[in-house]
């Protein structure tokens, strides 16, 4: 059985600043479409079940339309099954929906392939059982059959030999050891990582599915677990990632040298991504214009933030001063949640399931001025919505989208 484990989709989240206004709206729609993309990928890649390990939604205030659209996307991926664990952002909403689904009113019933898996409950799928734990007690009462592949879904963080639920309850690894558990499907931490508990059990967290801002750098996607052999693979699946890129400047650099060095540092970053450029070293004030730099890079990448807090700017009088431009709010989380080593463990040889759709959705219009770039994006969005509203079969919709986007790009269509 092939399991897709994702978490922290945060549908409905408002985005960080640092994007052009029209791109913010587009990005919000892209994130709100995450479930449709996951569902389509799962079906295309013959996934049996998708585990969403908490924070599917960004808040407990989910509009009926959003909920309906999510369920419809999941239902359309049948026979793929979806198990949704409540997180700290959407727990009250999902618990309420689960209660109403259980109460039997047909209007509140979930599609047959969708289940909200709340703490203390489990689902058996063939030789695999999936448990949900939302409290330390839920863990204590897990009875895992030694003959099955046993998964526990939890929402929280790992540090050292300790798992901590999002509400702060701590559970030592000893409580998870020798319980016949094979895989911990975690959510909550926004960068991928893994921790070994015992010979049989590894806790894994895929990180959030999409980079929503500059505090979510690194490879983004989900984990695919094969329950026959226990193997797991990180799969890159985000429409856009945020690349955190360091670049060191020198006091002798001219404005041209600075641009060259920055472009050199960014040469491998695809244009559809967000760039978080960390400058350090020393520059002369008269050679360095962060605002101009930002403006230029925004024509090349989807979003740009420049961190000059590590940069020393020499004023005209040659006295040292630290840069006046400092990173905006919200950055302090970046170092705390981004652990490159842990991410590297999982993401080192990541597959990439976005290649097939990259020409469709990820590409930024080439050589376009800011205005026509915005127009292009807007056209694509209008078209995407038209196709969505037409409610075509997923495969037909994919083809219609592909053809339309190719036409927008001025490509010839093989009809
Ligand atoms: Mn969370």
Q: Confirm whether 321 is domain-assigned.
A: yes
CA of 89 to the centre of ligand 1 (A): 6
My answer on whether 225 and 272 are in the same domain is no
Q: Who has greater pLDDT, 385 or 368?
A: 385
Look at residue 190 and tell me if it is in a domain.
yes
Range of the domain at 76: 2-239
- Please, what is the Cα angle at 246 between 241 and 248, to 5 degrees? 160
Query: Is 167 in the same domain as 226?
Result: yes
Are 137 and 190 in a shared domain? yes
pLDDT of 328 above 60: no
Ligand 1 centre from 383 Cα, in Å? 33
Using an 8 Å Cβ cutoff, are 188 and 316 in contact?
no
Give the Å distances, CA to CA, from 287 to 1, 70, 255, 256, 280. Answer: 58, 50, 5, 8, 15
What is the longest distance spanned by two Cα atoms in the chain? 76
- Expressed in angstroms and rounded, the spacing between residue 58 Cα and the centre of ligand 1 is 9
Residue 336 placed within a domain: no
CATH number at residue 232: 3.60.21.10
The alpha carbon of 348 and the centre of ligand 1 are apart by a number of angstroms equal to 24
Residue 376 vs residues 21, 29, 381, 414: alpha-carbon distances, Å? 14, 15, 9, 22
Give the pLDDT mean for 265-293.
Answer: 93
273 in a domain, yes or no?
yes
* Co-location of 152 and 24 in the same domain: yes
β-strand 2-6 against 49-52: which pairing, if any? parallel
Q: Are residues 152 and 196 in the same domain?
A: yes
Distance 382 CA to ligand 1 centre (A): 32
pLDDT of residue 273: 93
| Domain end call among 205, 223, 239 | 239
Q: What is the pLDDT of residue 356?
A: 57
| 265 in the same domain as 178 | no
> How many domains does the chain divide into?
3
Structural Rg of the chain based on CA atoms: 23
- Domain assignment of residue 360, yes or no: no
How far does residue 155's CA lie from ligand 1's centre (Å)? 7
Task: For residues 295-300, give the mean pLDDT.
Answer: 92
Do 70 and 140 belong together in one domain? Answer: yes
Q: Are residues 226 and 259 in the same domain?
A: no
- Residue 255 and residue 234 share a domain: no
Q: Is residue 165 part of a domain?
A: yes
Tell me the helices (H) and strands (E) count for the chain, helix number first: 11, 19
Residue 350 lies in a domain: no
Could you report the per-residue pLDDT of 215-236, keeping only the tens digit for each? 888 889 999 999 999 889 999 9
State which of 186, 219, 239 marks the end of a domain: 239
> Per residue, what are the HEC states of 48-109?
CEEEECCCCECCCCCCHHHHHHHHHHHHCCCCCEEEECCCCCCHHHHHHHHHHHHHCCHHHC
Under the banding of pLDDT at 50, 70 and 90, the label for residue 318 is low
Question: 285: CA distance to ligand 1 center in Å?
Answer: 42
The last residue of one of the domains, among 182, 211, 239, is 239
201 C-alpha vs ligand 1 centroid, how far in Å?
Answer: 22
Task: Kindly state whether residue 46 falls inside one of the protein's structural domains.
Answer: yes
Distance of CA 19 from the midpoint of ligand 1 (Å): 24
Average pLDDT rounded to a whole number, residues 185-195: 93
Domain shared by 74 and 96, yes or no = yes
| Ligand 1: centre distance to CA 23 (Å) | 25
- 35 and 171 housed in the same domain: yes
In the reported structure, the alpha carbon of residue 173 is separated from the centroid of ligand 1 by a whole-number distance in angstroms of 20
Ligand 1 centroid, distance to 363 Cα (angstroms): 30
Residues 230 and 248 occupy one common structural domain: no
The residue assigned the tokens 């369920």 is: 71
Give tens-digit pLDDT for 92-116: 999 999 999 998 788 899 999 999 9
Mean confidence (pLDDT) of the chain: 84
Distance in Å, CA 189 to ligand 1 centroid? 7
């Amino acid at each position: 059985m092939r399991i897709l484990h994702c978490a922290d989709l945060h549908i409905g989240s408002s985005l960080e600043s640092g994007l052009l206004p029209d791109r913010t709206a587009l990005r919000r729609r892209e994130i709100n479409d995450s479930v449709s993309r996951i569902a389509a990928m799962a079906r295309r890649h013959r996934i049996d079940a998708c585990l969403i390990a908490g924070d599917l939604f960004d808040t407990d205030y989910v509009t009926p339309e959003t909920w309906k659209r999510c369920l419809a996307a999941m239902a359309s991926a049948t026979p793929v099954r979806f198990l949704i664990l409540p997180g700290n952002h959407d727990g009250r909403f999902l618990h309420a929906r689960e209660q109403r689904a259980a109460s039997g009113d047909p209007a509140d019933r979930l599609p047959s392939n969708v289940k909200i898996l709340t703490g203390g409950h489990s689902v058996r799928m063939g030789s695999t059982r999936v448990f949900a734990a939302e409290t330390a007690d839920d863990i204590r009462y897990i009875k895992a059959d030694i003959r099955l592949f046993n998964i526990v879904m939890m929402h929280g963080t790992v540090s050292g030999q300790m798992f901590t639920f999002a509400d702060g309850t701590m559970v030592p690894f000893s409580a998870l050891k020798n319980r016949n558990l094979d895989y911990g499907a975690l959510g909550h931490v926004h960068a991928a990582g893994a921790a070994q508990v015992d010979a049989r059990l590894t806790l894994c967290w895929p990180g959030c599915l999409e980079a929503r801002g500059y505090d979510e750098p690194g490879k983004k996607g989900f984990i695919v677990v094969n329950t026959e052999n226990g193997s797991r693979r990180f799969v890159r699946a985000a429409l856009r990632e945020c690349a955190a890129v360091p670049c060191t400047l020198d006091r002798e650099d001219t404005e041209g040298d600075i641009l060259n060095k920055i472009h050199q540092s960014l040469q491998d970053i695809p244009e559809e991504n967000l760039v978080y450029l960390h400058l350090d070293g020393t520059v002369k004030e008269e050679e360095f214009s962060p605002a101009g730099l930002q403006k230029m890079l925004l024509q090349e990448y989807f979003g740009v933030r420049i961190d000059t807090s590590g940069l020393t700017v020499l004023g005209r009088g040659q006295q040292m001063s630290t840069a006046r431009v400092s990173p905006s709010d919200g950055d302090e989380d970046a170092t705390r949640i981004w652990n490159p080593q842990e991410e590297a463990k999982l993401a080192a040889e990541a597959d990439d399931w976005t290649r097939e759709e990259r020409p469709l959705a990820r590409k930024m219009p080439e050589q376009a001025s800011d205005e026509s770039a915005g127009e292009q994006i807007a056209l694509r969005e209008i078209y995407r919505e038209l196709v969505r509203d037409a409610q075509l079969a997923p495969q037909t919709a994919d083809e219609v989208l592909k053809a339309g986007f190719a036409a927008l790009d001025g490509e010839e269509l093989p009809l």
